[in-house]
Structure 1
Amino acid sequence: MAGSALDTTPEVDSSPEEARARLVDRLLADGRIASPEVEAAFRRVPRHLFAPDEVSVDAAYADDVVITKRGPDGRATSSISAPWLQAMMLEAARLQPGGRVLEIGSGGYNAALIAEVVGPRGMVTSIDIDSDIVANARAALDIAGYPNVQVVQVDSATGWPAGAPYEAIVVTVEASDIPPAWADQLAPDGVLVVPLRMRGNTRCLTLTRDGDHLTATDSVLCGFVPMQGAGANPVTRRALRGDDVTLRIDDPDTRSLDLDALTPVLDGPRVDAWSEVTVPPATSFESLHLWLASQPHPYGLLAVDRDRAVDLDPQNWVSCPALLTGDSIAYLTIRQLDDTTWEFGARGYGPHAAPLTQHVVDLITVWDRDHRHQPGPDIRVYPTGVTIPPTRQPQLLVPRHHTTTAITWTAAGDHR
């Protein structure tokens, strides 16, 4: 009788052609691919040839990241980005046949996609600081049929002036700053697509020249392996409550706090406050994280072990916004009211938990009223030393070595 015995037939991977077709169809259905040129590139380039040998065909063509190298601490140092994000970045770069493109952060697959779009008259250069990654990318590109893509081992912060100017520069590592070489090597009407880390929050920005600075025309939540070499700027990590919780800090003002005083607070009594701001399931509210990061207040991100610290109940177990004082912490949380409704709130610990928690709730309320249904903040990147125009709107300035990023929030009634 059918179903009366276990099916012991081993699962068999799809063929590369079948898996690739399914992936592209999904990217089209989800709106990630918008142009026929990018669609054609995804249908042609064999992604599985750029993945490590132990990665199955189906895993190589899943809409997810593929790790290609890890450091001694186990953290990823190189990867093939998720296809949805690669498609978005290629569309944002406005690639044209015959274009000159610099990819910063190599792996081979993304460079092959770019080469398909710019065609035989175009020029694609991919650079990386890691000799292993460069060698593997070169080998995979040759096997896949892209010998004309140039792969160079060099510190990513220097760019590659020999091929400049570039109509597009596509950065596939997380950057905390924009090195001068990138802007210098960008054509006057060129596009810089870069995952920029701003106070711990990474957004893939589509940047174009705007007088003496760069202005973002698009911003997408993303995650990438961090930049190495001269452009490296690692976040500060501090363990709280043993190894159950890690606090990540990405700005000098917060680093100046006495973080030792925060270590025991999560073992103390808690304070909860609720905002009456609700959200249905499977709804994006990523602008709330950036809004909380934009406040003139010491700030960090919590990563919580879900198995060992379930009582903390952060809104995001991997990267949860938190406001800090020298002895207290309050972070974003969320609770389910019914099958279709969740409510934002804040949970605090420490001597000043009550006012700090209420402050987070007040910020949630302002976000809901003024910014939740808006396009998001205006993001501009100014070279260090350039005067940033004053504004009455809420604004965060993120100073780095080479640039200062200005994140300005315009209330609903102030949008033109």
Structure 2
Amino acid sequence: MNNTPAIEDLRNRLVDEIIAKRPLPAPIEQAMRTVRRDLHLPGLDPADAYTNRAVTIKDNPGGPLALSCASVPSTVAMMLAQLDPQPGDHILEIGAGTGYNAALLAELVGPDGQVTTIDIDPGVALHAREALNRTGYEHVRVMERDGLKGAPEHAPYTRMIATVGLWDVPTTWWQQLADGGRLVLPLRWRGQTRSVALTRHGDALMSDDMELCGFVPIIGQRGERTTELANGAVRLHHDQDQPVEPGQLAEVFSAQYTELWSQARVGSEETFDGIWLRATASDDTVCRIEVTKQALEDGVRRPAIPGRSPALVSGSSLAFLIAERDNADLERPSRLGAAGYGPHATPLARNLIAHITDWGTDRAAVPHMTIHPAGAPDSELPKGHVIDKPDSRSVLSLTETNA
């Protein structure tokens, strides 16, 4: 391996860029300064390998999303910090990708630890195996395996991390994570994805951190539905338990919309995804709306972010988040509001304004999530808002940070 000063400078510059925005634990920073991402991306210019962006390594001919990709380095670092690997840990990674993350994990667990990485795609698993061999991590175990099944023959694991998007926590994973062990996964509910850090306490997984992220979905979970409206120009992405009926919404955009505004404002670089996250802790009408350029040209009100904004859907009506820049406040020049369509547009828009207002009073508040196996009786669940899925029961509760 020819680790030239130029390549080392590129790697250090990338890490410097990451830690300027989010300080990292020293072991993770050192691992990222050590492991060569360019050797896990052969054929790519090193200057491109050390930019803070995702790189597709295998296209998906059956859909718009890649089958596998190298994650954004800052997201890799964030999830490693959530996982908090320790020397001697026994780690299972679901989603081998390029093998880069497994190499970082191997650095972090040291010679007394073990890393097993699995991938359902034989080509991706082979890519990871060859890259790990090429970079000196032959001891990392690579398996061609359905990630939903895990790798029980090498369990229990003290840490598990998924680098593919999950809609539900598979029952098999419960059996492979040691009590007191830590699980980090990109979990999707109500149309949004968060990297959730959980610790197992008996029959419960308890969260202590959630971060916005986006990942290629794992093969084999189909709990999210897409409902197309306006001849496919508008799409609602929702969970299977949410009663979104295309027939009821067929004419929803045929009438004038209702527009309401909150007192909440945001700055140019300020995220408002917390509105969405917070709303899921109490409201089962929350989902994601995707409005295409064609729909905007046809007169549909522009959502705050056309491709991914929170929406509330009930019966034949919907409301979604909108934003408008008016420069009345130079520090926070954009105000937030709700656009509603359908016969019950105004009540739904008011509900969304209430969510915006609640978020505006405490923007740092993050719901606590507790995940239990499917079948856990209500009497054993903590107080909070329950979301049921085939393999799990999630409970979301919110404590104000300003209290």
* TM norm structure 2: 0.90
Q: Secondary structure of the equivalent of 1:177?
A: coil
- Counterpart CA distance in 2 for 1:179 and 1:76 is 23
Equivalent of 1:88, from 55, 78, 83?
78
- Counterpart CA distance in 1 for 2:107 and 2:377 is 41
- Counterpart CA distance in 1 for 2:306 and 2:156 is 42
Cα distance, 1:174 vs structure 2 = 0.9
Q: Secondary structure of the equivalent of 1:203?
A: strand
Q: Secondary structure of the equivalent of 2:268?
A: coil
Equivalent of 2:151, from 148, 151, 160?
160
Q: Indicate conservation of the 8 Å contact 2:228/2:246, yes or no.
A: no
Equivalent of 2:38, from 38, 48, 63?
48
Q: Secondary structure of the equivalent of 1:294?
A: coil
User: Which residue does 2:190 correspond to in 1?
Assistant: 199
User: Which residue does 1:178 correspond to in 2?
Assistant: 169
- Counterpart CA distance in 1 for 2:83 and 2:185 is 10
Are 1:125 and 2:116 counterparts?
yes
Are 1:138 and 2:129 counterparts?
yes
Equivalent of 2:60, from 43, 62, 71?
71
Cα distance, 1:246 vs structure 2 = 1.8
Counterpart residue type for residue 246 of structure 1: R
Q: Deviations over 1:211-261 (max 9, x none)?
A: 4311001111111111113xx12521122223432211113133xx32133
Are 1:296 and 2:283 counterparts?
yes
- Counterpart CA distance in 2 for 1:185 and 1:113 is 22
Q: Secondary structure of the equivalent of 1:106?
A: coil
Q: Deviations over 1:282-329 (max 9, x none)?
A: 123322111233343433211122476165221122211111122211
Q: Indicate conservation of the 8 Å contact 2:183/2:197, yes or no.
A: yes
Q: Secondary structure of the equivalent of 1:140?
A: helix
- Counterpart CA distance in 2 for 1:29 and 1:87 is 13
User: Which residue does 1:11 correspond to in 2?
Assistant: none
Q: Deviations over 1:32-65 (max 9, x none)?
A: 4222x21221112111222263x43222211121
Cα distance, 1:189 vs structure 2 = 2.4
Q: Which moved more, 1:242-251 or 1:165-174?
A: 242-251
Q: Deviations over 1:66-105 (max 9, x none)?
A: 1222212232121111111111221222212222111011
User: Which residue does 1:8 correspond to in 2?
Assistant: none
- Unmatched 5+ stretches in structure 2: none
User: Which residue does 1:258 correspond to in 2?
Assistant: 245
- Counterpart CA distance in 2 for 1:289 and 1:270 is 21
Q: Secondary structure of the equivalent of 1:301?
A: strand
Are 1:362 and 2:354 counterparts?
yes
Q: Secondary structure of the equivalent of 1:362?
A: helix
- Counterpart CA distance in 2 for 1:178 and 1:164 is 17
Cα distance, 1:388 vs structure 2 = 4.3
User: Which residue does 2:93 correspond to in 1?
Assistant: 103
Cα distance, 1:113 vs structure 2 = 0.6
Counterpart residue type for residue 289 of structure 2: L
Q: Say if 1:189 and 1:391 are closer, same or farther in 2 by CA, change over 3 A.
A: closer
User: Which residue does 1:379 correspond to in 2?
Assistant: 369
Q: Say if 1:106 and 1:352 are closer, same or farther in 2 by CA, change over 3 A.
A: same
- Counterpart CA distance in 1 for 2:241 and 2:142 is 36
* Percentage of identical aligned residues: 35
- Counterpart CA distance in 2 for 1:208 and 1:173 is 19
- Counterpart CA distance in 1 for 2:72 and 2:349 is 36
Counterpart residue type for residue 249 of structure 1: H
Q: Say if 1:171 and 1:61 are closer, same or farther in 2 by CA, change over 3 A.
A: same
- Counterpart CA distance in 2 for 1:154 and 1:390 is 34
Q: Secondary structure of the equivalent of 1:174?
A: coil
Equivalent of 1:39, from 21, 29, 46?
29
Q: Secondary structure of the equivalent of 2:193?
A: strand
Q: Which moved more, 1:124-133 or 1:300-309?
A: 300-309
Q: Which moved more, 1:305-314 or 1:334-343?
A: 305-314
Q: Indicate conservation of the 8 Å contact 2:152/2:176, yes or no.
A: yes
Q: Indicate conservation of the 8 Å contact 2:177/2:200, yes or no.
A: no
Are 1:278 and 2:265 counterparts?
yes
User: Which residue does 2:345 correspond to in 1?
Assistant: 353
Q: Say if 1:81 and 1:32 are closer, same or farther in 2 by CA, change over 3 A.
A: farther
- Counterpart CA distance in 2 for 1:74 and 1:197 is 18
- Unmatched 5+ stretches in structure 1: 1-13
User: Which residue does 1:7 correspond to in 2?
Assistant: none
Q: Secondary structure of the equivalent of 1:41?
A: helix
Q: Secondary structure of the equivalent of 1:284?
A: coil
Q: Indicate conservation of the 8 Å contact 2:223/2:240, yes or no.
A: no
RMSD: 2.2
Q: Say if 1:109 and 1:409 are closer, same or farther in 2 by CA, change over 3 A.
A: same
